[in-house]
């Protein structure tokens, strides 16, 4: 029997089994897509490690899939196939006198049923006060899936009369003009990660303002030569250089130490409209030129918007940038989401503002392209002094960007 396991290099966020693409007994070829896993960042297909027959599914739909967990088995022998109905029969096999003398109490039966519920299903049942015994599961071996719970909630009405049978789910208050939008798996996972992030890491945000005049001039000069770069590429380059003054910004919290990454691998928040957010990673930014960062960023952004990101494209970031200004936001304090990173940079909308400058010992009023920049830190890893030192250096790099070489 050949084991099918969750990849160990999976990004640290929790994954769930989204769907099996084969059924027990079906033939599979080596590297055939076998099962889909989903995190808040990406949907990943796990390929078959060898050719044969899918013998058994051990982690069903909605089950949590930690790195290294056993998903199922592939066999070359037909007799090894474990189909759902046979699997159920096998669980009650045994000598007839044992079956006759053995019975489960009501509480034991309920406990056994409870263990078959995935964490997401269990949370949904508790949230809506649903008795799982009143739901008919459509999953393998009659298992209740998240979709079963969602359907039960949708079926609940506000017309329940006191004294009648209890509805499967607690009725929701009707709003004449409200529209329900069911959560997809990505939205639920993002929500779970957001709550976990703010409950585990003490967040503190520092705010600076940056003059983008030098960046704007440099960008226009390169465009005139045929090289087009986004402002985000400049942000990545400046952030990588700023790490020198506060290396812990490029680190993360561990229970017995602070870990600092040897390379600056920057994730860039990329909105997918109603589908949520993904964070592709540009690796080793400190060793790349501005143009190389721009090229890699363009490739990753295109893959993200086309839904072609692979697990390796979103794994292993040591720092994150949220360029929320591209959607019009002036100021925000992003949440640190990813695997214990120490900080996340937020950059607001570039906007012309009136500023007071000192020139030749006198104050003058000027109009400059300005943007607010925030650094949100995990205060377990980084203190205020390091935060301000990093932001000061970052702003200094932005405001004193050299003119392109002739």
Residues identified as active-site: 379, 383
Q: Is 377 left (phi over 0), alpha (psi -120 to 50) or beta?
A: beta
Closest C-alpha to 318, from 396, 382, 260: 260
d(CA 40, CA 140): 25
Residue 319 and residue 241: Cα distance in Å, rounded? 13
The closest alpha carbon to 281, from 227, 335, 239, belongs to 239
Number of residues written out for the chain? 406
* Residues 396/378, Cβ–Cβ less than 8 Å: no
Q: Could you tell me which residues are beta bridge partners of residue 53?
A: 27, 75
Burial letters 355-380, b for 16+ CB under 10 A, else e: eeeeeeeeeeeeebbbbbbbbbbbee
CA–CA distances in Å: residue 366 to residues 361, 398, 401: 15, 18, 19
Angle between the 231-242 and 384-399 helix axes, to the nearest 10 degrees? 130
């Amino acid at each position: 029997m050949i084991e099918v396991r969750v990849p160990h290099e999976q990004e640290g966020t929790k994954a769930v089994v989204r769907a099996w693409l084969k059924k027990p007994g079906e033939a599979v070829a080596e590297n055939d897509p076998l099962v889909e896993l989903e995190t808040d960042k990406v949907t990943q297909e796990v390929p078959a490690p060898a050719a044969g027959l899918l013998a058994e599914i051990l982690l069903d739909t909605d089950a949590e899939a930690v790195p290294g967990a056993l998903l199922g088995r592939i066999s070359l022998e037909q007799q090894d196939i474990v189909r759902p109905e046979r699997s159920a029969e096998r669980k009650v096999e045994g000598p007839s006198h044992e079956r006759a003398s053995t019975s489960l109490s009501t509480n034991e039966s309920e406990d056994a049923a409870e263990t078959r519920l995935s964490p997401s299903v269990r949370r949904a049942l508790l949230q809506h006060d649903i008795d799982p015994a009143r739901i008919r599961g459509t999953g393998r071996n009659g298992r209740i899936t998240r979709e079963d719970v969602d359907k039960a909630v949708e079926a609940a009405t506000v017309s329940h009369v006191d004294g009648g049978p209890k509805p499967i789910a607690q009725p929701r208050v009707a709003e004449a003009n409200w529209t329900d939008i069911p959560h997809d798996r990505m939205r639920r996972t993002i929500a779970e990660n957001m709550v976990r992030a703010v409950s585990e890491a003490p967040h503190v945000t520092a705010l600076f303002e940056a003059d983008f005049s030098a960046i704007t001039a440099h960008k226009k000069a390169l465009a005139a030569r045929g090289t087009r770069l986004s402002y985000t590429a400049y942000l990545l380059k400046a952030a990588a250089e700023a790490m020198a003054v506060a290396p812990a910004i490029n680190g993360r919290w561990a229970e017995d130490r602070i870990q600092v990454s040897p390379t600056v691998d920057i994730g860039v928040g990329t909105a997918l409209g109603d589908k949520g957010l993904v964070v592709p990673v540009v690796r080793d930014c400190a060793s790349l030129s501005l143009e190389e960062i721009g090229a890699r960023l363009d490739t990753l952004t295109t893959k993200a918007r086309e839904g072609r990101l692979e697990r390796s494209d979103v794994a292993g970031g040591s720092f994150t940038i949220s360029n929320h200004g591209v959607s019009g936001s002036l100021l925000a304090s992003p949440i640190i989401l990813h695997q214990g990173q120490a900080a996340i940079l937020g950059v607001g909308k570039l906007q012309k503002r009136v500023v007071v400058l000192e020139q030749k010992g006198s104050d003058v009023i000027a109009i400059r392209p300005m943007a607010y920049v925030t650094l949100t830190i995990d205060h377990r890893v980084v203190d205020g002094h390091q935060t301000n030192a990093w932001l000061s250096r970052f702003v200094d790099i932005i405001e004193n960007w050299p003119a392109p070489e002739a």
